[in-house]
């Protein structure tokens, strides 16, 4: 067991955990932040995506001991982010979600894309979103919502 100070959604959180515990389980079980989802545990589905130091990261394979001082942002923190808010609104107005389990991870990935590319093409969307599984198959509406958000962000 070791003690860590994490900055999550602009708040400092103290955590005592085994150094090998993936950030996903620190969020879900130590901090009771359940918006970040477990889908596979091997970085193959993207349901657990969070931002670590501004980079979309698979929290299921990132040991808490390797986070360091980098700030963490989760889906619960997206409403306070300018791009995040716009993307969430585009998702709602485009009625994207079905079961919704993967959508936190989809939104986290889309936000990083839009922060790096203001007007992504179809192939850029496919490349960035390419590792996120949606078993309900909402991909067409995800594409449309990303384009709508891009337009809104100007």
Partner 1 sequence: MLNRRSFIRVSAAAAGGLMMSMYFDHPSGAQQPTAPIFPPDAFVHVRPDGTIVIQVNRLECGQGTQTALPMILADEMDADWSQVRAELAPAEDLYKDPVFGVQMTGGSAAIANSFQQYRELGAKTRAMLVAAAAARWQVSRDECRAAKSVVYGPGNRSARYADLAAEAARQPIPDKVALKSAAGFGLIGTPTRRLDSRAKCEGALRFGLDLDVPQMQVAVLARPPVFGGRVRGLDDTAARSMAGVRDVFEIPLVHGTAIAIVADTFWTAKQARERLTVDWDLSGLERVDSARLRSAYQALAHTTGNIAVRRGDDDTLNRIPVARRMVADFEFPYLPHTPMEPENATIRFDGDRAEAWVPTQAPTEDQVAIADVLGLKPQQVTFHTEYAGGGFGRRSPFDCHIVREAAAVAKRLRGTPIKLVWTREDDVQGGYYRPVYVHHVEVGLDEQGMPAGWRHVIVGQSWVIGSGHWSEPFVTKDGVDLLGTQGTTDTRYRIPNFHVSAHHPRLNVPVTQLRSIGYTHNTFVMETLIDELATRAQADPIAYRLKLLDPSATTIRTPLMLLEEKSATWRRSLAPGHAVGIACNSDQSTGVACAVDVSIENNRPRIHRATVAINVGLAVNPLTVEAQCQGGLVFGLSQLMAKGAITVNDGHVEQRNFDGVPPPYMKDAPVAIDVHIVPSSEKPSGCGEPPVPVISPAVVNALFRLTGKRYRTLPLVSL
Q: What residues make contact with partner 1 under the rule CB under 8 A?
A: 1, 21-22, 25, 28-30, 32, 34-42, 44-45, 47, 74-76, 78-79, 88, 91-93, 95-104, 107, 122, 125-126, 129-143
Closer to partner 1 by Cβ: residue 10 or 69: 10
SS (H, E, C) 62-95: CEHHHCCCCCEECHHHHHHCHHHHHHHHHHHHCC
Cα–Cα distance for residue pair 36/13, rounded to 1 Å: 16
Residues forming beta bridges with residue 17, ordered by sequence position: 2
Number of alpha carbons in the 13 Å side-chain half-sphere of residue 39: 24
Q: Is 51 exposed, middle or buried (0-12, 13-18, 19+ CB in 10 A)?
A: buried
Residue position matching structure tokens 């709508």: 148
């Amino acid at each position: 067991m070791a003690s860590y100070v994490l900055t999550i959604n602009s708040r400092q959180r103290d955590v005592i955990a085994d150094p090998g515990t993936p950030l996903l389980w620190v969020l879900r079980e130590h901090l009771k932040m359940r918006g970040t989802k477990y889908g596979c545990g091997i970085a193959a589905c993207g349901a657990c995506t969070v931002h670590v130091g501004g980079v979309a990261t698979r929290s299921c394979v990132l040991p808490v001991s390797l986070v360091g001082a980098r700030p963490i942002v989760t889906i619960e923190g997206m409403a306070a982010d300018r791009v995040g808010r716009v993307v969430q609104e585009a998702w709602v107005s485009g009625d994207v979600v079905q079961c919704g389990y993967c959508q936190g991870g989809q939104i986290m990935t889309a936000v990083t894309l839009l922060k790096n590319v203001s007007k992504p093409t179809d192939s850029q969307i496919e490349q960035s979103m390419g590792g996120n599984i949606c078993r309900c198959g909402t991909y067409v509406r995800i594409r449309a919502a990303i384009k709508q958000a891009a337009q809104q962000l100007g």
